[in-house]
Amino acid sequence: MGKPGRYVGRGRTHLTACLFENHPELKQSFQSFRGKSAEELRTSKELRQHASRVMGFINKIIVRLDSEETYTVMIQEMCCRHMLYQALPREMKILGRQFISVIASTLQAAGRWDDQAQTAWENLFTFIASTYELTRAEAGLLACARRGKHIRKDYYIEY
């Protein structure tokens, strides 16, 4: 199949265009995207850059699948960064489903999508969301404090 990120990167533009159109409530989680129209978001350089970081993160996980300890720590660190912005596990699950939808259409067009690929991507995003949720719930403040992050103590109140 070649380089793992070969197909991941192709979906970036589609991911950014679809995520907020399919889930406009997520705009509230991104301070710089609040109040922007769908057209403004489609052409937003900042949103494209964020989507590139998301794609890059997923690619880093994929190339490290042989080292669970390494990619688990990467996900925990991502969790700490996102806790600063009060991103909820539910939002991570939505992003995962949207990502899978985009990657499925990209891989289908390349003739590389089947039940096994579907299961693999679902397992990857289930692991990411579960690790995010566990880090937030069990280790949360302590784990992030050890990494030098400062999280509001009232963050754990569900909204």
Read off the pLDDT of residues 3-52 as tens digits, 9 standing for 90 and up: 444 444 445 556 766 788 888 888 877 878 888 887 888 788 888 888 88
Q: Residue 146's pLDDT is what? A: 60
How far apart are alpha carbons 93 and 3 in whole angstroms? 26
∠ at Cα 113 (111, 117), nearest 5°?
Answer: 150
pLDDT of residue 132: 87
Per-residue pLDDT at 150: 47
Instruction: Check residues 105 and 83 and name the one with the higher pLDDT.
Output: 105
* pLDDT in the model for residue 2: 39
pLDDT value at position 63?
94
87 touches 29 (CB < 8 A): yes
Class of domain 5-156 as given by CATH: mainly alpha
Element (H, E) at 6: helix 5-8
What is the three-class DSSP state of 53?
helix
Q: Is it the case that residue 96 has pLDDT exceeding 80? A: yes
CB atoms within 10 A of CB 88: 17
Q: So what's the pLDDT on residue 91?
A: 86
1 has a pLDDT exceeding 80: no
Write the CA distances from 23 to 27, 48, 74, 77, integer angstroms: 8, 17, 26, 25
The pLDDT score that the predictor gives to residue 123 is 94
pLDDT tens-digit profile of 103-143?
A: 898 889 999 999 999 999 999 999 999 988 888 877 655 65
